[in-house]
């Protein structure tokens, strides 16, 4: 019997108005060289999501174009693009996998810079391939390859590039409602065009014990704990305990909540170095009616930047807090309203990296109903 293909095309368009109190995410201290200035912007975006499924094989693709225009800071006007695609395949009930590629051209976030007003655009490409094998006894082996290429100019280093390659291996075994196993990842990366920052190469290895528990459809617990070693050619390596703990629960038919605590070693592109991030994220979803959804969220993050000096400081420690409220209202089958508010605050041992920024906006989303 011939397989029946199922396809779906979903075009969409959105327009939003947003007011920002601190568009450059700059420190407002009295000795800061540049004072923050508020501004408003219009954001337009349009895209297409596509799906094709045939005989348990699925092809996914999406494309989006975004346009930003500011009322006063006209030099921040820009166009961003996103292309994303993946192919999910199944050889049998025991062997599956996927391949994918994501390409994005976007602005370098001002949160990653300090006292900079220049519009810098970066381009990122991510390619992935995965193979998963499940034994009849329930053991599952997951293998994933990833290549990341980031061309991200920064002040003083207009040709800064980062290339990363990684392989992630995971083993899982079910024990009734509990799944246990371990994760291992090896990552290598190279900075080029770093100028005075140097061009270090680094190698990073992570080993973790992992577990996941599901209780019917009401709650999910996941956890991993282990250690990460990162060696850099300039001698500024770092080793730390890493992992995550996450919990999600359906509190009622209308309300769900999730909490996640994570600690990881990441690349700090602005300084061609490393950072140790410990973050706590909270999110609640309340849907009082079929047309209304309310989502408050909160993020608390502490970041340490080892092996680097910042101005007169021998080290840098940041604390970042972000509170957000999103409301989604489905006015018509094809039209939705999305009012939102954001407030972000970062304090730092190097004061010029701190900021206090808020944004409030309203987005109209038009999407063909199914």
Residue 334, number of CB atoms within 10 A of its CB: 12
H-helix or E-strand containing 364?
strand 355-367
Q: Per-residue pLDDT tens for 26-58?
A: 887 644 444 458 999 999 999 999 999 998 899
pLDDT digits (tens, 9 = 90+) for 207-235: 999 999 988 778 999 999 999 999 988 76
Supply the mean pLDDT for the chain: 91
C-alpha 344/C-alpha 327 separation (Å) is 18
Give the pair of three-digit tokens for residue 282. 């909270």
Provide the percentage of residues in the chain whose pLDDT is more than 90.
75
Fold assignment, 15-367:
Porin (2.40.160)
CA distance 140 to 298: 34
Instruction: Encode pLDDT of 269-308 as tens digits.
Output: 888 888 999 999 999 999 999 999 999 999 999 999 886 6
| Region 253-278 average pLDDT | 93
Rounded to 5 degrees, what are φ and ψ at 119?
Answer: -85, 115
Using one digit for the tens of pLDDT, what is the confidence trace for 306-350? Answer: 866 665 556 789 999 999 999 999 999 999 999 999 999 999 988
Answer whether residue 368 shows pLDDT above 90: no
CA dihedral over 24, 346, 40, 285, signed as positive or negative: positive
Domain ranges of the chain: 15-367
What backbone torsions phi and psi does residue 112 show, to the nearest 5 degrees? -90, -5
Q: For the whole model, what pTM was predicted?
A: 0.91
CA–CA separation, 359 and 125 (whole Å): 29
Query: Dihedrals φ, ψ of 2, to 5°?
Result: -70, 140
Mean pLDDT of 60-74: 97
């Amino acid at each position: 019997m011939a397989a029946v293909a199922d396809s779906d095309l979903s075009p969409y368009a959105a327009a939003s108005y947003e007011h920002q109190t601190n568009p450059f995410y700059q420190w407002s201290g009295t000795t800061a060289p540049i004072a923050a200035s508020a501004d408003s912007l219009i954001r337009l975006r349009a895209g297409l999501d596509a799906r094709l499924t045939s005989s348990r094989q699925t092809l996914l693709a999406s494309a989006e174009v975004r346009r930003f225009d500011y009322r006063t800071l006209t030099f921040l006007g820009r166009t961003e693009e996103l292309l994303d695609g993946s192919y999910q395949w199944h050889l049998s009930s025991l062997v599956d996998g996927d391949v994918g590629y994501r390409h994005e051209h976007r602005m370098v976030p001002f949160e990653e810079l300090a006292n900079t007003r220049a519009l810098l655009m970066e381009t990122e490409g991510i390619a992935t391939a995965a193979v998963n094998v499940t034994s009849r006894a329930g053991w599952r082996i997951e293998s994933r390859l990833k290549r990341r290429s980031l061309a991200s100019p920064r002040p003083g280093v207009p040709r800064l590039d980062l290339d990363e390659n990684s392989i992630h291996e995971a083993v899982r075994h079910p024990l009734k409602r509990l799944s246990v196993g371990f994760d291992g990842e090896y990552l290598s990366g190279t900075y080029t065009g770093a100028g005075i920052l140097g061009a270090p190469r680094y190698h990073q290895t992570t080993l973790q014990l992992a577990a996941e528990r599901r209780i019917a459809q009401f709650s999910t617990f996941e956890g991993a704990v282990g250690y990460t070693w990162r060696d850099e050619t300039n001698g500024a390596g770092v080793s730390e305990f890493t992992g995550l703990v996450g919990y999600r629960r359906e509190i009622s038919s209308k309300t769900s909540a999730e909490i996640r605590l994570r600690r990881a070693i990441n690349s700090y592109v602005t300084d061609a170095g490393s950072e140790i991030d410990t973050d706590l994220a909270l999110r609640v979803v309340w849907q009082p009616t079929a047309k209304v959804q309310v989502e408050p969220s909160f993020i608390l993050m502490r970041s340490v930047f080892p092996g680097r000096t910042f101005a007169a400081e021998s080290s840098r420690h940041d604390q970042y807090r972000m509170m957000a409220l999103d409301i989604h209202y489905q006015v018509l089958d094809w039209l939705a309203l999305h009012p939102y508010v954001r407030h972000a605050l970062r304090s730092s041992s190097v004061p010029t990296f701190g900021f206090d920024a808020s944004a409030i906006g309203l987005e109209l989303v038009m999407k063909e109903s199914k």
